[in-house]
Amino acid sequence: MKEGIEIRKVDDQGRFVLPSDWRKNELEGEEVFVVKRRGYLKIIPKKRANLTKFFDKVDLGVNIGDWKEFERKFYEV
Identify whether 54 is part of a domain: yes
- Report the number of distinct structural domains present in the chain: 1
Identify whether 8 is part of a domain: no
| Contact assessment for residue 13 and residue 7, using Cβ atoms and an 8 Å cutoff | no
Give the DSSP H/E element, type plus range, for residue 72.
helix 67-76
pLDDT for 34-67, tens place per residue? 999 999 999 999 988 888 887 777 777 777 788 8
Three-class DSSP category at 41: strand
Identify whether 5 is part of a domain: no
- Residue 30 pLDDT grade (very low, low, confident, very high; cuts 50, 70, 90): very high
Amino acid at 65: G
pTM across the whole model: 0.57
Identify whether 15 is part of a domain: no
Alpha-carbon dihedral sign for residues 34, 37, 40, 44 = negative
- Residue 37: give the domain boundaries: 20-76
